Chain A
């Protein structure tokens, strides 16, 4: 069992978010889309029942925040996992087989690194058309390099170690060595990256919503709430504060979890 509080705090907060996402309809005091123009831009607590206040259409902020966890976590888990699978596979192949595979993958990474990621994701979503699938696709297409770079370097190093040579001397095939010997040793690094990537995915989704390119406006998202809050910041600051705070804590949680895992899984850092 890990004793690092960062793993427990980070993981605990994410579990809390996951529960909020699953039970959103039960937890949310209002329908997140229900408009009440009489109670528009009510400050937190000013209108009965609206604990965190309302936005410019009188929609309950707490309910929208709770429902927003659904998109945030869906993107975090699906996009990060797919990016991880793609990047790890390419990184393993490049690092283990080297030669032209490595040349191709490395060149692709170089090209990818020459794009500003935010701009590329905006461009991709504009090309694919707004929507949850496009957002996920954009994150996968852009962020696989984070995994590929690290996994490639790690695989290069692992493949040179004695255990890989021993397996080869025992007559194991190259594919089997990669799958059964090298991969398990690369996994800890991948797991840490995966946790960090989930935090990044949440941010990218929020940025795309902020620019108006994520899911449709009838689905409550943190980024969409932030975009509205930025526009009416002088009239109603609280519209921005709560989704921004939620985003901040979520990113921090994934990060702390990742850092904690890094230390826990690394026998040298663990001491």
Chain B
């Protein structure tokens, strides 16, 4: 990819990020409801309130507050959470790994499940299997993570309680980890029982997130594979005596993977956005659940920090997908 293209994409991403910051700032500053009023002790004097307002910089003009905040963000300082009395960066640092592990686990599930759907329905194309999968796929695609999450809670958590529906791990297990990357660190330290427990807690929220994405991947992959299967080189491979499975995996899947990949990247940001409500449903301690609490508590610095975090994740994912698609597609690479 030419350097100028990379540069213009990166610049464009920065402009978008700046826009995100402006929108976040304007949104939370025009919010009615004084955040200070929630933290003053009864009997506080007007002077106390004024001092607090000055401490959080709420007495300055709005545009000045923005530039101060902007400068602080550039220095990696997101301020102090009003409701949790801790640095915003610290809080997000503690919660972000939970969301990242959940999102990546869900993505992996969606890719595997979507690929499986596509392979099976391509292998049995024209048969009842294909129609069944197509119909099921349509439902998976139409129904959002919110409904899947609640349905899983109800069916697999309560009516037939086979999986945990709340939290990230069993509180009675103390694995003694130092980071919040439970799966990663647990695996590295060989605490497999703990990792298994974390995975069990993650399975239902991850399924809720993965279902719509798996349906999209499955559909696109299948459509492209169907186009590939009528090509001459597939017939040639068959004449050469290659097994159907090998043709499917080696020829069709490989050629269909690139268009599916580009789409998966875009859809992955939707999945990350879906963690907000899914984490809420499963009381999962990630940044999405935290964000809802921050909004309810009118914790301005925390809201700003969290929305910014999501913005950075979204923009980064989009850039990575762009780069990956260009890299995998020789026509674009040499453009």
Write the residues of chain A forming the contact surface with B, with a CB cutoff of 8 angstroms: 107-108, 110-111, 113-120, 122-124, 126-127, 129, 199-200, 203, 206-207, 210-212, 226, 230, 233-234, 237, 240-241, 244, 247-248, 251-252, 255-256, 259
Closest to A259 in B: B138
Q: Is the CB of B146 within 8 A of A240?
A: no
Within 8 A of A (CB), among B267-281: 269, 272-277, 280-281
Q: Is the CB of A114 within 8 A of B311?
A: yes
Alpha-carbon distance A123/B311, docked complex (angstroms): 14
Q: Is the CB of A119 within 8 A of B288?
A: yes
Among all A-B residue pairs, the 5 with the closest Cβ atoms: A116-B273, A255-B142, A111-B19, A127-B31, A114-B311
Tell me, yes or no, whether B242 is within 8 Å of chain A by CB: no
Tell me, yes or no, whether B188 is within 8 Å of chain A by CB: no
Q: Is the CB of A244 within 8 A of B142?
A: no
Mask, B1-26, CB within 8 Å of A = 1, is 00000000000100111011001000
Additional 17 contacts, C-beta under 8 A, given A108-B19, A117-B273, A251-B143: A107-B16, A111-B23, A119-B291, A119-B306, A126-B295, A127-B30, A127-B32, A207-B277, A212-B296, A233-B154, A233-B157, A240-B150, A244-B151, A244-B154, A251-B142, A251-B147, A255-B142
Most B C-beta atoms less than 10 A away, residue of A118, A129, A247:
A118
Instruction: State which of B144, B150, B280, B295 has its C-beta within 8 Å of the C-beta of A244.
Output: B150
Alpha-carbon distance A256/B24, docked complex (angstroms): 36
- Chain B residues, CB < 8 A from A210: 146, 277, 280
- Chain A residues, CB < 8 A from B15: 107
Closest to A252 in B: B142
Q: What is the size category of the interface that chain B forms with chain A?
A: 35 or more
Alpha-carbon distance A110/B20, docked complex (angstroms): 9
Tell me, yes or no, whether B27 is within 8 Å of chain A by CB: yes
Q: Is the CB of A116 within 8 A of B310?
A: yes
B48 smallest CB distance to A (angstroms): 26
Mask, B138-176, CB within 8 Å of A = 1, is 110111101100110110011100000000000000000
Q: Is the CB of B27 within 8 A of A124?
A: yes
Q: Is the CB of A118 within 8 A of B274?
A: yes
Q: Is the CB of A237 within 8 A of B19?
A: no
Alpha-carbon distance A184/B86, docked complex (angstroms): 56
Q: Is the CB of A211 within 8 A of B280?
A: yes
Tell me, yes or no, whether B314 is within 8 Å of chain A by CB: yes
Alpha-carbon distance A248/B146, docked complex (angstroms): 10
Tell me, yes or no, whether B303 is within 8 Å of chain A by CB: yes
Q: Is the CB of A252 within 8 A of B139?
A: yes
B11 smallest CB distance to A (angstroms): 12
Q: Is the CB of B146 within 8 A of A206?
A: yes
Q: Is the CB of B272 within 8 A of A114?
A: no
Q: Is the CB of B277 within 8 A of A237?
A: no
7 A-B residue pairs with Cβ-Cβ distance under 8 Å, sorted by A, are A118-B273, A119-B306, A122-B292, A200-B144, A244-B154, A251-B147, A256-B138
A225 smallest CB distance to B (angstroms): 11
A254 smallest CB distance to B (angstroms): 8
A195 smallest CB distance to B (angstroms): 11
Does more than half of chain B's interface fall in helix, strand or loop, or is it mixed? helix
Alpha-carbon distance A61/B140, docked complex (angstroms): 27
Alpha-carbon distance A111/B314, docked complex (angstroms): 10
Q: Is the CB of A114 within 8 A of B143?
A: no
Write the residues of chain B forming the contact surface with A, with a CB cutoff of 8 angstroms: 12, 15-17, 19-20, 23, 27-28, 30-32, 138-139, 141-144, 146-147, 150-151, 153-154, 157-159, 269, 272-277, 280-281, 288, 291-292, 295-296, 298, 303, 306-307, 310-311, 314-315
Most B C-beta atoms less than 10 A away, residue of A116, A206, A234, A241:
A116
Alpha-carbon distance A233/B166, docked complex (angstroms): 13
Alpha-carbon distance A114/B13, docked complex (angstroms): 10
A72 smallest CB distance to B (angstroms): 13
Alpha-carbon distance A113/B321, docked complex (angstroms): 15
- Chain A residues, CB < 8 A from B310: 114-116, 119
- Chain A residues, CB < 8 A from B150: 226, 230, 240, 244
Q: Is the CB of A207 within 8 A of B158?
A: no
- Chain A residues, CB < 8 A from B288: 116, 119
A205 smallest CB distance to B (angstroms): 11
Q: Is the CB of B142 within 8 A of A199?
A: yes
Alpha-carbon distance A212/B296, docked complex (angstroms): 9
Q: Is the CB of B20 within 8 A of A247?
A: no
Q: Is the CB of B16 within 8 A of A114?
A: yes
Alpha-carbon distance A56/B310, docked complex (angstroms): 37
- Chain A residues, CB < 8 A from B138: 255-256, 259
- Chain A residues, CB < 8 A from B19: 107-108, 110-111, 114
B114 smallest CB distance to A (angstroms): 19
Closest to B298 in A: A126
Closest to A243 in B: B150
Alpha-carbon distance A251/B141, docked complex (angstroms): 11
Q: Is the CB of A115 within 8 A of B28?
A: no
Q: Is the CB of B143 within 8 A of A115?
A: no
Q: Is the CB of A252 within 8 A of B295?
A: no
B166 smallest CB distance to A (angstroms): 10
Q: Is the CB of A247 within 8 A of B295?
A: no
B3 smallest CB distance to A (angstroms): 22
